[in-house]
Every structure is written in structure tokens, then in C-alpha cells.
């Protein structure tokens, strides 16, 4: 299980920085680092076996029906990447501890960093491509948080958004590609896929899958033309750049290309797409990097260029090139992380990263200068450093491939030399200046320790490649190639080869280019260049604008328009499908309609027409709607659904009170806005929709359903399975308890939303308008009439008792927690109406928020209780008990669940109504302390 | 015998409901309409009880009790709204 643990440790570690920051920044960094270190140690324990060629697997079945398994495996490739992610991660944690400013929230930073680290480790260890996709998306999200860490900087926010849009968009393509790949092979397991090369390459879906997967990889690894997001991501703090752009995020795309190399590479399509994209990216990135004045932008484009180099090598499709790619991944990670860190140090100490304002720093920052020089020379490909070895081998491969590829590769290398030298020369060499924004000096050990360690690696790999990384390169290349390793040698001197000449040309040419930099810069600045950010913003703006126009066309805020579109669409779809099929009349016999049913129907029809006629007078239409509610309740009784009747009846009362409360703050008349044409249009659509729904209901009732009805199952199982004879209640609290659980949560959320919305009305402009509303109303009669107060007080205990009764018997007879909750709510509401909000609220001890919460928690606890009996969530149990003087009675866990429903309903209803009536206070109403307007005990005295 | 009495009662209350409806449609103001609605609820309670008697079951009795208990609350709310504007002061 150690692989699962390695992947999980960073995520677990992400929980702690926020807490540990209270113990100080050192404690926070050490705690964070310890999780990474532990994961790294676990990885190193596995390393010897992997280097021997073993593959370590951990498998957990997660959702087998979807083919989703939490399978992890560790081979050479995984070992290399996981080692880089965790190793450089550890250095970055150390570096960030000393880099972040006092004002930066460090706990947040480490949390994001660990989330990202976990996601990256997950990608490289996944043995299931669906699992890999999940981690892939997680890296996009967590890198968004990291890049936008300095939230106060607009560049940071925009850069983060751009990175998310590009890599997230690519991630979507990748999902498509991976699903296609899984579909071709018939398995989502990486191990199986890796052995299905012939099947995949023979499939007609190979090309679409390849394109989609490459789209994902290219966007992630910033390949042309998606390279533009990477420089903008430089707005992040330097530790983030050092981590994301040297060893991790941008390498994820390379990793996936390397991982799928055995099955995807080797075709013409792969060669041309991957090879040429890599070549273009390499040359273009190197050229742009030369002309960047921002140190980090220079490094960003050099990263783009080196990623292109590796992509190109993978694109060649030969085993030798793949070995070089692997080797360069290692080398690039070491020198580039060191370079980013030194750039960060310069920024930290000199307070600028602008090369034009720097120079001569070698006197002031000798340590930084040494580290930066070693790393930059490695990047340039100077002998004795690791960058030289892989660059030489790359040139060799390029020369073998094609003469033009060789020329362009040399050109890329030439510019690479030029910008690397520029990095050294224009930052550190030259005369000392006296106009630095800060006071540059070497930082403390904490800040330069990490880059120094990497610089040491650069040198020893450069001198003793075979000894230091030979085994790792062999194991990794073996995992990439999945076949016999080709002959290669990691050594300093390869003899007089074409690559040697190309190298010499590159170095000499690079120096010449740098010497004529001033002139070339003039030419470069005069050239018209497309600005990626402008184009990106333009595209985003265009898409956003088009979406907005579409949304506005469908839903412009007027519900009548939205309903018209919705109803018309539904009717048209229905009519089209009705016309497309055959139709036979239903076989069921019609029931005779009694006189009472006809009267009810008449009431319903007239009331509905009345609402249409009087809808401008809002109060009147509410009165007429009540008739509908009444008739529908009666209809439920008539059609043998007493549960529904009780619910409908109580809901009706609560709804009317709610609407009346709201209507107090709304215009009493709906203004006339519709033109005649629109009225006709809406009238036709609504009549058509009504006829359609009526016809559909009739058609369904007149025939047997096409599939087996589940009603009989519920009727049969209600008592033996759920322990209750009231099927409706058993369905609610047992069979479909999970639905109900979700519903009470939604109910609670709705009530809280009403509370929050009305809370905002209590302040600002809305509040001033509320105060205006209160002034114009004519008020007659008593505020708190004696009759009403006395009647409701008497009603209260009776109503509560009825509520309890309905609740208790709900499992076997009509009733249950929902109805009981509404009845008790009405009983409480009556007190509010009779004696006023302030008086009633003062006597309300339990907070409604807490009542909702306790309801949901009780329901959840009941559900969880089933776990202790080794049953799934919300499995109910029931039994019969007897307490001597009483009859035998039944207790079911469903009753506790129903109690949760009850409390959630009471809390939600009361919170919604209390929120609305609270507004009246704002509208200038006074508060009363006494329950009614007159005090009966004092009347005679006052009369005197 | 009881069957005929029930038919008669059904007819009476059914007719009453229709009169209520007539008043609801034609009454001059909102007040009268609220009264019509309240009377409708009373008639509905009566019908429910009659229906229970006709079917020989007590299930509907409870429904009618609940009608009686909460039916007047909306009438009170309407009245307070028309008189005071705010129903929970």
C-alpha cells in the first residue's frame, strides 16, 4: 500500500499548514516538508527494486462498474517523475519558507502547494487512465490557486485564469482522448493499454484519440501555439514558478507523452505532429527568450524552448531519442529550478527582475552569481555540466533525422546559448551600478541552500553521468520504450561527431548574437509581433459575449419569456415525436364522474380562469389561487391520497402567509407591459402547453405503462421491509430515504438563502427604499386584537398535540414528519400573527438555524447508525416493544429520521417567515412588549 | 334512509359551493371574496365529513379536523393584510 500512501501523503499534508502557521512559520514549513520527506523516503525504499526493472503495483477497486480503479504502479518513469516532484518539492518548500514576505499568508501557500504536489504524484503513479484524468484536472485547479496566489496583483489573477483556461481546456480534450483510447483497448488500465500497441494503431479511432491526447499534453506542456500561458503564469511567486515550470506542471504533458509513447509513437502522424510542434516550440521559445528583459520571462520562454526540445525528441519516435528525452528531463529540472530560484533571489534582494536595471551583481552577490552561472552555463550546454551532455545527444539525434531538423536544432541551441549568456552577462557581469531599486546582497543560507544543492547536482551529473544517474536513465528509458534498450552512452566525450560541430557553431554563434544584441533588439522591437494576451482576451471576450447573448436571448430576466421558450420547446418536441410514432387509443375504462367531482372541476376551472382575468390585482389573484389549493386538497381526499391532502392543505396555509408577507413590500398591482401581439403569442403557447400536458396525462392514465410499475413492489414491501403500513410514509423515510435526506437539506439551504437575501435588504439602498414603503400604508383596526390573541393561545397546545399525534402515527396512518412539521409551524405562526414579531421572537428560545441543523444532523445520524450494523447508509430497522401497562408498540429507526424531517421543516418554514417579517422592522414599525394592544386587567382602572 | 339524507346533504353543500363560487366571481371587493373563500372552506369541511359518513371510514374525519384547525388561519392573514398591510407586526 506504500504507493497509495505516497500519493496520499501530500494531500494529508495539505490539511496541516493552515493549522501549523499558528505555531510560526518555521513550524509550518517543517510540518509541510515532513510530509513530502516521508513520501520521498517511502519512494526511495521502493527505488532499488524499480531500478532493477521491477514494477510495483497497488490496486484498490473504486467504482468497478465504470472501470474506475484506484490502481497505482511504480516503474522507472514513475520513479523519475515522483522523485523529481517530491525532491524538488522539498527544496521549494525550504526556499519558499525564506522567500515569502511577512505579509503573505504562508499557510495558504503550503496548502495549495501540497494539493498540487499530491495531484502531480497522483498523475505519475496512476495505473488507471480515469484516475489519471482526475489527478490531471486537480493539477489544473491547484496550479490556478498557486499562480493566482498573490490575489492583489491583477497580473496574478489574469495569469491564473489564462493558465486554467488553456490547461483546463486541454484537459477536456484529454478526457475525450483517453476515453477513446480506453474504448479502443476495452480497458482503462494503463498496464493493459501499454501492451495494446497494435490494436490501438490499427484502430480508425487512433488519429482522433491521438489528436485529443496531444491537445491535452501540448496545452499542459506549453507547446506552440499554446505556449503563451506559461510566461503569464510568471506573475506567481518565484517558488511556484520554480516548481511548476521546472519539474512538475509543464512536465505533466511530457510525462503523458512519454508514458503513452510505446503505444502512440512510431506512426507518421505522431512523428509529424509531435516532432514539428516540438521543433517550432524549441526555436521560437529560444528566440523570444533572448529578447525578454524580465528575468523570469526569459526563463519562462527558455522553459518553453526546452519543453519543445524534449517534445521533439519524443516525436522522433526512435528509442535512442526517447533515452535522450528522459535524460534531458532530469537535467532540465535541475538547472531550471536552480535558475528560477536564483532569479527569485535577485528579485527578492534587488527589488527588480528587469535585466535593463541590473548588472554588476557579481560583486554584491557572489554566491548567487556562482550558482546562477553554473546553472545558466548548463542551460547553454557548456561542457562539464549536465546540460551539455543531453544537448549534445539531442543534436546527434536531430542530425540523424533530417538535415533541416539538424539546422533548426542548431539554431535553437544557438539562441539558447545566447539567452543563457545574456542571463549571466546582463545580470551579474558589467560594472557595478548605483541605481538598483533595493540593496542587493547575498541572502541567508535558507534561501540559497536549495539552488546550491541543485547546482551541485548539475556539476556532478555533468562530470559523472553514468555513475550518478545511469541506472535511473536506464530504468526510466526502459519504462518509456517498453522494449530492449538501444545502445547509448552517457559520457563527456563522444569523439568527433556532427553534434560536436553543431555544438561549436551554437556556442560561437550564441556569443556573436549576444555581442550584437543592441542592434538585434532594435530590429526585434521594430518587428510586428502578435501579442498572445490580446488575442486570448479577444477570444475569451468573444466567447463570453456570445454566451451572454445566447443566455439573454433565452432568459432575459422576465420569467414570462423564459416560460414561453421552455413551454414552446417542450410542446414542439412533444408534437414532433408524437407525429413520428404510431398512436392507438387507450384501453382503460373511464370512471363515471359524480356530481361532486363535476362541482369540484367547475370550481377549479372558474378559479383558474379567474386568476388569468384578475392577475393584475395581486391580492385578489392570491385569494383565487387559494380556491384551487382547496379543491386540490379535496381532490386528493377524493382520490384516496389523504397524506397528500394533509400536506397540500398545510402547505397552502404557509404559502399564503409567505406570499402575503412578501406582498407587503411589493407593488399591489402588476403593471401593464405586454403588447397585444405578445399577449396573443403567450396565450397560444400556454393553451397549447396546457392541452399537451392534459393530453399526456390522459394518455398515460388510459393505458398500461410500457414498463412494469413499481407501485406493487412498494405496496408489498411496505410492511415487511419498512415496518409501516402507510406506504407513502415508508417510501419517504425508508425506500427513498436518501431522496428525502437530500430534500430536507435543500429545504434548509433554501431557508438560509431567504435569510441571507433578506439580511442584505436590511442595509444600503434597499433598506432606504424599505423605509419609504412603510410610510404610505393606511392602517386600520387593532395591531394585536384581543380576540385573535386569546384564540391562538388556546389553539397552540391543541395544534401542537395534533402535530405530535400526526407525527407519531405517520408510519402506519396518514401523516408523518413533514405534515407534522407544517402543522406545528402554523401553530407557531399564529402566535406571530396575533402578538407580533418582537413579542413572539422574544419567547422563541431555540434559534431556527439550530433547529434546521439539528434536523439534518439527526437524519444523518440515523443514516450513519446503519453503518454500525454493517448495513448501507440509511438502512432502517424496526422492532416491537412492550412497556407493561401499554399495548405492544413499534419503534422504527425511520421514526428518528422522520424527527429530523420534522425539525428541518419547522426550522425552515419559521426561518423563512421570520426573515421576511423582520423586514417590516426596517420599514419603520415599532416594537411591542405586551401580547396585545389592550391590557384587560387594567382597563377599568384606566377608564377612571 | 341515511343514503337519501346524504344525497340531500351533498346536494345542499355542493350547491353552496357553487354559490360561493358565484360570489367569488362577482363580488364587488376583495373583502367579500375572502369571505366567500372562508365559507368555501367551511363547506369543504362539511363535504369531507359527509364523504366519510358515506364511505364509513374515519380517515377523512381527521382531514376535516385539520381543515378546521388551519383553514381559518389564511382568512385571518388575508384580513390582517387588508387592514394593516403587514400580517406579522
In the block, residue with C-alpha cell 362539511? B46
Determine contact, residues A109/A166, Cβ cutoff 8 Å: no
Q: Phi/psi at A164 (nearest 5 deg)?
A: -65, -40
A623 and B CB contact within 8 Å: yes
> Does residue A642 belong to the interface with chain B, where contact is any CB pair within 8 Å?
yes
DSSP state of A588: S
How far is the C-alpha of A723 from the C-alpha of A731, rounded, in Å? 11
| Mean pLDDT (whole number) for A217-236 | 87
| Minimal C-alpha gap between B83 and chain A (Å) | 5
Task: Tell me if the pTM is above 0.90.
Answer: no
Nearest-neighbour CA in chain A from B41: distance (Å): 7
Terminal CA-to-CA distance of chain B, rounded, Å?
53
A630 vs B24: CB contact, 8 Å cut-off?
A: no
The predicted pLDDT at position A944 comes to 46
Q: Which residue has the higher pLDDT, A811 or A409?
A: A409
Cα(A343)–Cα(A551) distance, integer angstroms = 46
Query: Within an 8 Å CB–CB cutoff, is residue A663 touching chain B?
Result: yes
Find the mean pLDDT for residues A365-381. Answer: 90
Closest Cα partner for A368 from A470, A441, A316?
A: A441
Q: Residue A844 has what pLDDT?
A: 83
Bridge partners of A126, per DSSP, are: A72
Burial class (CB in 10 A: 0-12, 13-18, 19+), B25: middle
Of A663, A788, A802, which is closest to B76 when you measure between CB atoms? A788
Nearest partner of A298 among A234, A348, A236, judged by Cα: A234
Cβ pair A798, A752 in contact under 8 A: no
Residue B76's closest CA among A834, A99, A543? A834
CB of A645 within 8 Å of a chain B CB? The answer is yes
pLDDT value, residue A943 = 45
From the list A610, A637, A781, which residue is nearest B25 (CB)?
A: A610
Q: Grid coordinates representing A502?
A: 553543431
At residue A493 the predicted structure's pLDDT band, cuts being 50, 70 and 90, is: confident
Q: Identify all chain B residues contacting A830, using CB atoms and an 8 Å cutoff.
A: 73, 76
> Residue A190 — φ and ψ, nearest 5°?
-60, -40
- Euclidean distance between CA atoms A503 and A221, whole angstroms: 26
pLDDT score at A1:
66
pLDDT in tens, A80-136: 999 999 999 999 999 898 888 888 888 889 999 999 999 999 999 998 888 899 999
Q: Which residues of A touch B59 (CB under 8 A)?
A: 642, 813-814
E strand or H helix that includes residue A892: strand A889-892
On the question of pLDDT at A441 being above 50, the answer is yes
For range A249-259, the mean pLDDT: 90
pLDDT-derived band of residue A219, with 50, 70 and 90 as boundaries? very high
Tell me the chain A residues in contact with residue B66 when contact means C-beta distances shorter than 8 Å. 646, 649-650, 802, 823
CA nearest B65 in A: which residue? A802
Per-residue cell: A772: 419609504
pLDDT of residue A703: 84
Size of interface A-B (CB pairs under 8 A): 149
CB-closest option in B10, B44, B77 to A656: B77
Q: Is the pLDDT score of A40 beyond 80? A: yes
pLDDT tier at A546 (50, 70, 90 boundaries)? very high
Mean pLDDT score across all residues of chain A: 87
pLDDT tier at A317 (50, 70, 90 boundaries)?
confident
| A836 → chain B, closest CA residue | B89
| Partner-chain contact A624 B11, CB within 8 Å | no
A16, A48 Cβ separation under 8 angstroms: no
Q: Is residue A638 within 8 Å of residue B51, measured between CB atoms?
A: yes
C-alpha cell at A647: 400536506
A773 touches chain B (CB under 8 A): no
Closest residue in A to B48 (Cα–Cα): A634
Domain ranges of chain B: 2-84
CA separation for the pair A777, A770 (Å, rounded): 12
Model confidence pLDDT, tens digit, residues A132-163: 999 999 999 999 999 988 888 888 888 898 89
Residue A941 has what pLDDT? 58
Measured between CB atoms, does A820 come within 8 Å of chain B? no
Distance CA A872, CA A884 (A): 34
Nearest to A596 among B10, B59, B67 (CB): B10
Q: What is the ipTM of this complex?
A: 0.96
Q: What is the mean pLDDT of residues A743-750?
A: 94
User: What average pLDDT does range A322-338 have in this prediction?
Assistant: 90
Mean pLDDT in residue range A163-186: 91
What percent of chain A is helix, strand and coil (3-state, nearest 5)?
75, 5, 20
Cα distances (angstroms) measured from residue A456 to each of A337, A363, A370, A489:
13, 22, 11, 22
Full 3-state SS string of A167-183:
HHHHHHHHHHHHHHHHH
Q: Pick A623's closest partner by Cβ from B34, B48, B66.
A: B34
Q: Write down the architecture of domain B2-84 according to CATH.
A: Orthogonal Bundle (1.10)
Least confident of A324-328, A379-383, A414-418, A707-711: A707-711
CA distance B14 to chain A (A): 7
B33 vs A595, A620, A928: nearest CB = A620
Residue of A nearest to B15 (CA): A599
Structure-block grid coordinates of residue A476: 526510466
* d(C-alpha A147, C-alpha A156), whole Å: 6
| Confidence grade of residue A874 (pLDDT, cut at 50, 70, 90) | confident
User: Which residues have CB under 8 Å from A853's CB, separation 6+?
Assistant: A748, A907
Which runs of consecutive H residues, i.e. helices, occur in A592-701?
595-614, 618-638, 642-663, 676-701
Predicted local confidence at residue A548, as pLDDT: 93
Q: pLDDT at residue A649 above 70?
A: yes
Tell me the pLDDT tens digit for each residue of A750-784: 999 999 988 888 877 877 777 777 666 677 778 88
Give residue-wise pLDDT tens across range A227-246: 888 888 888 888 888 888 87
Interchain contact, A619 vs B30, CB within 8 Å? yes
Task: Tell me if the bond preceding A225 is cis, omega within 30° of 0.
Answer: yes
- Tens digit of pLDDT at every position of chain B (89 positions): 888 999 999 999 999 999 999 998 888 888 899 999 999 999 999 998 998 898 888 878 888 888 888 888 889 999 988 888 888 87
Facing residue for A917 by CB, picked from B10, B78, B88:
B88
Query: Is A634 touching B (CB cutoff 8 A)?
Result: yes
Position A776 scores a pLDDT of: 65
Rounded to 5°, the CA angle A316-A320-A326 comes to 85
Bridge partners, A617 (sequence order): A669
> Is A798 in the B-facing interface, judged by CB distances under 8 Å?
yes
Q: Which residues of A78-94 are buried (b: 16+ CB within 10 A; e: fewer)?
A: bbbbbbbbbbbbbbbbb
| Mean pLDDT computed over A567-572 | 93
Cα gap A724→A813, rounded to integer Å: 9
Which pLDDT band, with edges at 50, 70 and 90, does A846 fall under? confident
Instruction: Quote the pLDDT of residue A775.
Output: 67
Sign of CA dihedral A775, A776, A780, A786: negative
Per the listing, cell 430497522 goes with A877
Sequence-distant (≥ 6) Cβ neighbours of residue A87 within 8 angstroms: A40
Judge whether residue A888 has pLDDT over 60. yes
Amino acid at each position: 500500500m506504500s504507493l497509495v500512501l505516497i500519493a496520499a501523503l501530500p494531500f494529508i499534508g495539505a490539511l496541516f499548514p493552515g493549522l501549523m502557521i499558528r505555531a510560526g512559520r518555521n513550524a509550518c514549513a517543517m510540518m509541510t516538508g515532513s510530509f513530502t520527506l516521508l513520501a520521498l523516503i517511502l519512494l526511495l525504499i521502493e527505488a532499488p527494486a524499480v531500478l532493477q526493472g521491477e514494477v510495483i503495483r497497488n490496486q484498490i477497486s473504486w467504482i468497478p462498474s465504470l472501470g474506475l480503479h484506484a490502481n497505482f504502479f511504480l516503474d522507472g518513469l514513475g520513479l523519475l517523475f515522483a522523485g523529481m516532484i517530491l525532491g524538488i518539492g522539498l527544496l521549494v518548500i525550504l526556499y519558499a519558507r525564506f522567500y515569502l514576505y511577512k505579509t503573505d499568508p504562508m499557510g495558504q501557500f503550503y496548502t495549495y502547494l501540497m494539493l498540487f504536489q499530491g495531484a502531480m504524484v497522483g498523475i505519475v503513479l496512476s495505473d488507471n487512465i480515469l484516475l489519471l484524468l482526475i489527478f490531471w484536472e486537480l493539477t489544473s485547479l491547484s496550479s490556478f490557486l498557486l499562480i493566482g496566489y498573490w490575489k492583489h496583483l491583477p497580473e496574478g489573477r489574469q495569469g491564473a485564469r489564462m493558465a486554467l483556461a488553456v490547461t483546463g481546456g486541454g484537459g477536456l480534450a484529454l478526457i475525450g482522448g483517453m476515453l477513446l483510447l480506453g474504448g479502443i483497448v476495452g480497458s482503462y488500465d494503463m498496464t493493459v493499454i501499454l501492451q495494446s500497441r497494435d490494436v490501438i494503431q490499427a484502430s480508425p479511432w487512433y488519429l482522433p484519440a491521438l489528436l485529443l491526447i496531444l491537445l491535452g499534453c501540448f496545452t499542459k506542456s506549453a507547446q506552440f501555439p499554446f505556449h503563451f500561458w506559461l510566461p503569464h503564469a510568471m506573475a506567481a511567486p518565484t517558488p511556484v514558478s520554480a516548481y511548476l515550470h521546472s519539474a512538475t506542471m509543464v512536465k505533466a504533458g511530457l510525462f503523458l507523452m512519454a508514458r503513452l509513447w510505446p503505444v502512440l509513437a512510431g506512426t507518421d502522424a505522431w512523428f509529424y505532429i509531435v516532432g514539428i510542434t516540438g521543433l517550432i516550440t524549441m526555436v521560437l521559445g529560444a528566440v523570444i527568450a533572448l529578447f525578454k528583459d524580465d528575468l523570469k520571462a526569459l526563463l519562462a520562454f527558455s522553459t518553453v524552448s526546452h519543453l519543445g526540445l524534449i517534445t521533439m525528441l519524443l516525436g522522433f519516435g526512435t528509442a535512442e531519442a526517447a533515452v535522450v528525452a528522459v535524460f534531458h528531463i532530469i537535467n532540465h529540472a535541475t538547472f531550471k529550478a536552480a535558475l528560477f530560484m536564483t532569479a527569485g533571489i535577485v528579485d527578492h534582494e534587488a527589488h527588480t527582475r528587469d535585466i535593463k536595471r541590473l548588472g554588476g551583481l557579481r560583486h554584491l552577490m557572489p554566491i548567487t552569481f556562482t550558482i546562477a552561472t553554473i546553472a545558466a552555463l548548463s542551460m547553454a550546454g557548456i561542457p562539464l555540466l549536465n546540460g551539455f551532455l543531453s544537448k549534445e545527444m539531442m543534436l546527434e539525434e536531430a542530425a540523424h533525422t533530417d538535415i533541416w531538423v539538424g539546422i533548426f536544432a542548431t539554431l535553437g541551441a544557438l539562441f539558447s546559448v545566447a539567452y543563457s549568456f545574456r542571463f549571466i552577462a546582463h545580470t551579474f557581469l558589467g560594472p557595478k551600478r548605483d541605481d538598483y531599486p533595493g540593496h542587493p546582497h547575498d541572502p541567508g543560507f535558507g534561501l540559497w541552500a536549495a539552488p546550491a544543492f541543485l547546482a551541485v547536482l548539475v556539476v556532478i551529473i555533468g562530470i559523472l553521468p553514468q555513475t550518478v544517474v545511469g541506472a535511473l536513465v536506464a530504468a526510466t528509458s526502459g519504462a518509456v520504450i517498453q522494449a530492449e534498450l538501444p545502445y547509448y552512452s552517457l559520457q563527456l566525450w563522444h569523439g568527433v561527431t556532427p553534434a560536436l560541430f553543431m555544438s561549436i557553431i551554437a556556442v560561437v554563434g550564441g556569443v556573436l548574437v549576444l555581442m550584437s544584441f543592441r542592434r538585434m533588439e532594435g530590429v526585434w522591437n521594430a518587428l510586428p509581433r502578435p501579442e498572445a494576451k490580446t488575442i486570448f482576451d479577444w477570444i475569451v471576450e468573444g466567447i463570453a459575449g456570445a454566451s451572454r447573448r445566447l443566455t439573454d436571448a433565452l432568459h432575459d430576466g422576465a420569467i414570462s419569456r423564459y416560460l414561453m421558450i421552455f413551454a414552446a420547446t417542450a410542446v414542439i418536441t412533444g408534437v414532433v415525436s408524437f407525429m413520428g410514432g404510431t398512436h392507438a387509443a387507450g384501453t382503460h375504462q373511464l370512471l363515471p364522474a359524480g356530481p361532486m367531482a363535476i362541482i369540484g372541476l367547475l370550481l377549479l376551472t372558474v378559479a383558474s380562469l379567474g386568476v388569468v382575468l384578475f392577475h393584475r390585482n395581486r391580492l385578489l389573484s392570491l385569494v383565487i389561487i387559494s380556491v384551487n389549493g382547496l379543491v386540490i386538497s379535496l381532490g386528493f381526499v377524493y382520490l384516496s391520497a389523504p397524506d397528500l391532502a394533509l400536506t397540500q392543505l398545510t402547505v397552502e396555509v404557509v404559502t399564503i402567509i409567505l406570499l402575503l408577507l412578501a406582498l407587503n413590500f411589493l407593488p399591489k398591482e402588476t403593471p401593464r407591459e405586454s403588447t397585444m401581439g405578445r399577449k396573443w403569442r403567450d396565450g397560444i403557447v400556454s393553451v397549447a402547453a396546457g392541452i399537451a400536458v392534459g393530453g399526456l396525462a390522459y394518455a398515460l392514465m388510459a393505458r398500461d405503462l410500457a414498463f412494469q410499475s413499481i407501485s406493487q413492489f412498494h405496496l408489498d414491501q411496505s410492511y415487511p421491509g419498512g415496518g409501516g403500513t402507510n406506504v407513502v410514509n415508508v417510501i419517504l423515510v425508508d425506500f427513498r430515504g436518501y431522496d428525502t435526506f437530500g430534500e430536507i437539506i435543500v429545504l434548509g439551504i433554501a431557508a438560509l438563502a431567504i435569510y441571507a437575501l433578506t439580511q442584505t435588504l436590511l442595509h444600503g439602498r434597499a433598506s432606504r427604499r424599505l423605509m419609504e414603503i412603510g410610510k404610505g400604508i393606511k392602517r386600520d383596526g387593532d395591531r394585536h386584537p384581543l380576540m385573535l390573541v386569546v384564540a391562538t393561545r388556546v389553539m397552540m397546545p391543541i395544534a401542537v398535540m395534533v402535530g405530535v399525534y400526526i407525527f407519531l402515527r405517520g408510519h402506519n396512518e396518514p401523516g408523518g414528519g413533514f405534515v407534522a412539521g407544517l402543522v406545528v409551524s402554523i401553530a407557531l405562526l399564529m402566535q406571530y400573527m396575533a402578538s407580533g414579531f418582537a413579542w413572539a421572537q422574544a419567547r422563541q428560545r431555540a434559534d431556527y438555524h439550530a433547529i434546521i441543523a439539528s434536523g439534518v444532523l439527526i437524519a444523518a445520524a440515523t443514516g450513519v447508525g446503519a453503518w454500525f450494523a454493517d448495513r448501507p447508509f440509511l438502512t432502517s430497522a424496526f422492532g416491537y416493544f412492550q412497556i407493561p401497562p401499554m399495548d405492544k408498540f413499534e419503534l422504527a429507526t425511520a421514526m428518528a429520521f422522520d424527527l429530523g424531517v420534522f425539525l428541518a421543516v419547522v426550522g425552515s418554514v419559521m426561518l423563512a417567515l421570520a426573515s421576511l417579517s423582520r423586514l417590516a422592522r426596517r420599514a419603520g414599525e415599532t416594537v411591542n412588549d405586551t401580547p396585545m394592544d389592550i391590557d384587560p386587567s387594567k382597563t377599568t382602572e384606566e377608564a377612571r | 334512509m341515511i343514503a337519501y339524507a346524504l344525497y340531500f346533504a351533498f346536494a345542499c353543500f355542493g350547491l353552496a359551493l357553487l354559490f360561493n363560487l358565484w360570489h367569488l366571481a362577482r363580488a364587488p371587493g376583495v373583502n367579500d371574496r375572502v369571505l366567500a373563500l372562508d365559507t368555501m372552506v367551511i363547506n369543504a369541511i362539511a363535504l369531507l365529513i359527509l364523504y366519510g359518513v358515506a364511505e364509513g371510514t374515519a380517515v377523512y374525519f381527521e382531514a376535516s379536523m385539520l381543515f378546521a384547525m388551519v383553514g381559518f388561519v389564511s382568512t385571518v392573514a388575508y384580513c390582517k393584510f387588508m387592514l394593516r398591510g403587514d400580517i406579522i407586526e
